[in-house]
Amino acid sequence: MNDLLKISIEAAINAGKKILEVYENEFEVETKTDNSPLTEADKRSHHAIKDALEPLNIDLLSEEGKLLSYEERKNWKKFWLIDPLDGTKEFIKRNGEFTVNIALVENGYPVAGVVHVPVTGKTYYGSAEAGSFAFTYDPHSSASIEDYINSASKLPDAQAPAVYTVVASRSHNTPETENFIEEKRKQHGQVECISSGSSIKLCLVAEGKANVYPRLAPTMEWDTAAGHAVAKFAGCNVYNSETGKELEYNKENLLNPWFVVERN
């Protein structure tokens, strides 16, 4: 697992470099069949990750790759689940709140995950064996990936907020989320709300900077699996808001149910 985690961290950082090559220049925006945006950065990141992980001979499912039918993937016991650029809307807005997500899923649940924020270099990772950690990658440093891993901070690495804090989506807030926040106000009195894009929201709960992240709006499996791993192995619960059960992956329908990420 340590080798797989190291390779996936390196793949995420290299994909982030490909994304920044596009981000720092003018770029065009295409529209996919589901009306979501697509840029050259999504494509470059996908190919960088695919090239790094394919030699490992583990099945791979990527948002920007070929979407395989359930018949083709239903018997997968282990596979990579990837979002090469999570937060394309944030990328287009140039607010920096987008990520590279790489997760390793076994028997329907993430066992390892990496979330890399290309603009800041912040890199979160977690595994069932080691727990969750974070470091900030500096492209100008001569440090190796092993050096970063060896000096990474164990999560949670922030003190719990003095005021109960809810993190919500910057681009996808809903009436249901507002109702959720109102319920928390009844329970905790004062509630602070912070916003962020992409899978950074799961990582803010993992870090200890927020108590809860309700996602009462649509997401896909590749949006959440890596952040799910980081949050889970930092001591958080990632659960279906209706059933209370942990989110599962490689379902016939890759759309996630509404869910909540909450620190124990």
- Per-residue pLDDT of 80-124, as tens digits, reads 999 999 999 999 999 999 999 999 999 999 999 999 999 999 999
Helix (H) or strand (E) holding 177, with range, is: helix 175-188
- How much is the pLDDT for 34? 80
pLDDT tier, 172 (very low <50, low <70, confident <90, very high otherwise):
low
Residue 170 has pLDDT above 80, yes or no: no
- How much is the pLDDT for 176? 93
- How much is the pLDDT for 40? 93
Give the least confident one: 135-144, 170-179, 247-256: 170-179
Q: Are 213 and 202 in contact (CB under 8 A)?
A: yes
Would the pTM of this model clear 0.85, i.e. be above it? Answer: yes
- How much is the pLDDT for 171? 65
Mean pLDDT of 127-149: 96
- How high does pLDDT run on average in the chain? 95
Using DSSP's 3-state secondary structure scheme, residue 48 falls into helix
Residue 220 has pLDDT above 70, yes or no: yes
pLDDT tier, 1 (very low <50, low <70, confident <90, very high otherwise):
low
- Quote the tokens at residue 219: 């997401």
Residue (of 2, 170, 199) closest to 101 by Cα position: 199
Mean pLDDT of 253-257: 97
Residue (of 1, 86, 75, 4) closest to 37 by Cα position: 86
- How much is the pLDDT for 94? 94
Scored b (16 or more CB within 10 A) or e, 147-182 reads: ebbeebeebbeeeeeeebbbbbbbeeebeebeebbe
- How much is the pLDDT for 12? 98
pLDDT digits 0-9 by tens, 227-253? 999 999 999 999 999 999 999 999 999
Residue 66 has pLDDT above 90, yes or no: no
**In this prediction, what percent of the chain has a pLDDT beyond 70?**
98
Residue 167 has pLDDT above 70, yes or no: yes
Residue 67 has pLDDT above 90, yes or no: no
Give the least confident one: 47-56, 81-90, 172-181: 172-181
Whole-number Å distance between alpha carbons of 241 and 233: 20
